[in-house]
């Protein structure tokens, strides 16, 4: 499974693992892949703690960090998270506040206990994302990735000055070409099937389009990959490696909560939906009563990023607290249909590699026959 990217990053297998969980980062990197920690959910202070932990547990193996810097900026700057939240809250109209109250009542979600606040995610504001980058670059990372478009020029320059490669996700060949023109080193071609924010072109169609659009820049295939056969297919399409996000959510090392974990284990590949109900941008997650309520034409529909997440932050906290699987935010891709068992990262990595080898041998035997 070796490709030139293995030498670039000093890894054994070109398997890149996106995860919000530090234990998964360390486990993947120690198993020969490259763990990439998603920073978006962390305050800058917490990100520092997570990265210190990884440094202490990754045995010197390479790892990366993923930030979310949206192209369209909402101008929120503040000395404290509370300032920023207050600014965002003031941009939300009464109709949307009313609808969320109505939904909390309809689904009988008990109020949060006294003193337990709901903050929402601030990691995708420009201010916080830049602080994430600063912190990440002060650690021995090998890769910095950006979810929503090319990182700004100053971030690319800073990363390169630290000897850190820059990756960016792309759901269209034109976006991929723009990333490379902007100085991005590795393109993650992420197809429609993927968990989290995702576009409309399927991985099978997207990957060769992106490979051709950015050659000779390296491409990682993403979206719907969860087996060695799919890794072999990705390399056949011209990718130099794979970038997996969903598959780690049901590993023993993952911090998925019990209700969400159970929902993942039971779901089929037909049970996901692209919805704007959590972040304001289309993201793939398990379909449930909550996603349906935001798709309902009788409601006001979701707001944009970052307003939607702040609007629903209290409801999301109440849902998380209630442990209700029928409402819980469960971001995941269509590969969830194959995620039916909790297994260690090491076992998952072993199976990916084994099945890849068997597949390549089967293809070679077929060609000779």
Ligand X SMILES: Cc1cc2nc3c(=O)[nH]c(=O)nc-3n(C[C@H](O)[C@H](O)[C@H](O)COP(=O)(O)O)c2cc1C
Q: Which residues bind ligand X (CB under 6 A)?
A: 18, 38, 40, 66, 68, 145, 147, 169, 190, 193-196, 222-225, 243-247, 331-333, 335
331 DSSP 8-state letter: B
Question: To the nearest 5 percent, what fractions of the chain are helix, strand and coil?
Answer: 45, 15, 40
- Residue 261, Cβ neighbours under 10 Å: how many? 18
* Nearer to ligand X (CB atom), residue 247 or residue 328: 247
The string of DSSP codes covering 212-266 is HHHTTS-EEEESS--SHHHHHHHHHTT-SEEEESGGGGGBTT----HHHHHHHHH
Supply the minimum distance, in Å, between the C-beta of residue 350 and ligand X: 18
Q: Which residues contact 327 (CB under 8 A, 6 or more apart)?
A: 107, 109, 288, 289, 290, 319
* Nearer to ligand X (CB atom), residue 5 or residue 169: 169
* Nearer to ligand X (CB atom), residue 13 or residue 18: 18
Residue of 231, 195, 282 whose CA lies nearest to 18 = 195
Supply the minimum distance, in Å, between the C-beta of residue 234 and ligand X: 11
Supply the minimum distance, in Å, between the C-beta of residue 195 and ligand X: 3
* Nearer to ligand X (CB atom), residue 23 or residue 66: 66
Supply the minimum distance, in Å, between the C-beta of residue 275 and ligand X: 13
* Nearer to ligand X (CB atom), residue 96 or residue 209: 209
Gap between the Cα atoms of 194 and 196, Å rounded: 7
Supply the minimum distance, in Å, between the C-beta of residue 197 and ligand X: 6
Measured from each CB, the residue nearest to ligand X is: 245
* Nearer to ligand X (CB atom), residue 67 or residue 158: 67
3-class DSSP string for 334-351? HHHHHCCCCECHHHHHHH
Supply the minimum distance, in Å, between the C-beta of residue 2 and ligand X: 22
Gap between the Cα atoms of 354 and 27, Å rounded: 18
């Amino acid at each position: 499974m070796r490709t030139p990217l293995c030498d670039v990053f000093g890894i054994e297998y070109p398997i890149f693992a996106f995860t919000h969980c530090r234990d998964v980062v360390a486990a993947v990197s120690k198993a020969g892949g490259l763990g990439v920690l998603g920073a978006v959910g962390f305050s800058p202070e917490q990100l520092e703690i997570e990265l210190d932990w990884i440094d202490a547990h990754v045995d010197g193996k390479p790892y990366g960090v993923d930030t979310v810097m949206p192209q369209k900026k909402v101008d929120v700057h503040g000395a404290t998270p509370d300032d920023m939240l207050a600014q965002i809250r003031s941009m939300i109209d009464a109709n949307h506040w009313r609808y969320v109250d109505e939904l909390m009542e309809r689904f009988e979600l008990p109020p949060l206990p006294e003193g337990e606040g709901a903050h929402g995610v601030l990691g995708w504001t420009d201010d916080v994302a830049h602080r994430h980058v600063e912190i990440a670059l002060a650690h021995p990372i090998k890769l910095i990735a950006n979810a929503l478009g090319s990182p700004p020029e100053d971030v690319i320059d800073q990363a390169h000055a630290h000897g850190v490669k820059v990756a960016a996700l792309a759901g269209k060949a034109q976006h991929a070409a723009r990333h490379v023109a902007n100085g991005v080193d590795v393109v993650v071609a992420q197809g429609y099937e993927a968990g989290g924010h995702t576009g409309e072109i399927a991985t099978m169609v997207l990957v060769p389009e992106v490979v051709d659009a950015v050659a000779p820049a390296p491409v990682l295939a993403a979206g719907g990959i969860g087996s060695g056969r799919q890794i072999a297919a990705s390399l056949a399409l011209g990718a130099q490696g794979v970038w997996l996000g969903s598959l780690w959510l049901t590993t023993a090392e993952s911090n998925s909560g019990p209700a969400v974990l159970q929902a993942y284990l039971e779901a089929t590949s037909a049970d996901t939906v692209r919805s704007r109900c959590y972040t304001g941008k289309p993201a793939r997650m398990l379909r449930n009563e909550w996603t349906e309520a935001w798709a309902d034409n009788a409601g006001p529909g979701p707001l944009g990023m970052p307003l939607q997440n702040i609007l629903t932050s209290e409801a999301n906290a109440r849902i998380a607290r209630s442990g209700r699987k029928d409402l819980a935010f469960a971001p995941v891709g269509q590969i969830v249909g194959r995620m039916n068992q909790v297994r260690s990262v090491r076992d998952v990595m072993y199976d990916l590699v084994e099945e890849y080898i068997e597949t390549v041998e089967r293809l070679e035997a077929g060609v000779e026959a």
